[in-house]
Amino acid sequence: MDSLTEQQRLLCEEVLSKPLFAHLSTVEKCEPRESPVWFFWDNKSLWIIGNYKTDSFPKRIEENGKCAIGIVEYDVKNGIVKHIGFRGYAYLEKADNKIIKKLFHKYMGEENNWHPRFKSVLGNTDYVLIRFEYQSIVARNQSY
């Protein structure tokens, strides 16, 4: 985020800390694909969880790591329109329960409140983490 103004950097921190959906754009045989995903931002990379057996995006990333990610906070009632856009590369990583717990906590709160579906992810070797490293970033507040 070195190329961003201080205002853009603060906007990124604000938007990326919220439990919003990211739209992960990948490529398969020269065709674009899009997947709505949850994410965790650690101030240098976006982390996304995927199931290697049931989700298609981990295999696409394995074939071609070029990705784009868009995250939008939108609230028409309050005139909020904030957008963070990334271009870069994604890499498959072995599932790490520490990161998975941070990601799930962001969206669902304390672990004892999680639906059993999400608790069963911990330790399940079908799951992988996607570490996305951006090459370029756009941060815009177009609120009115």
> What is the spatial distance between Cα 54 and Cα 74, in angstroms, rounded to a whole number?
30
Domains of the chain: which residue ranges?
A: 6-141
pLDDT at 4 over 90: no
What's the pTM? 0.92
Residues in Cβ contact with 111 at an 8 Å cutoff, skipping those fewer than 6 apart: 101, 104, 105, 119
What is 6-141's CATH topology? Pnp Oxidase; Chain A (2.30.110)
Asked if residue 1 has pLDDT above 90, the reply is no
d(CA 65, CA 79): 35
**Residue 2: is its pLDDT beyond 80?**
no
Under a CB-based contact definition with an 8 Å cutoff, are residues 1 and 84 in contact? Answer: no
Q: Give me the pLDDT at residue 3, please.
A: 79
For residue 66, what is the enclosing H or E element? strand 66-75
**Residue 67 pLDDT more than 90?**
yes
Burial, 131: exposed, middle or buried (Cβ in 10 Å; 0-12, 13-18, 19+)? buried
pLDDT score of 78:
97
Confidence of residue 137 (pLDDT cuts 50, 70, 90): very high
Residue 30 confidence (pLDDT): 87
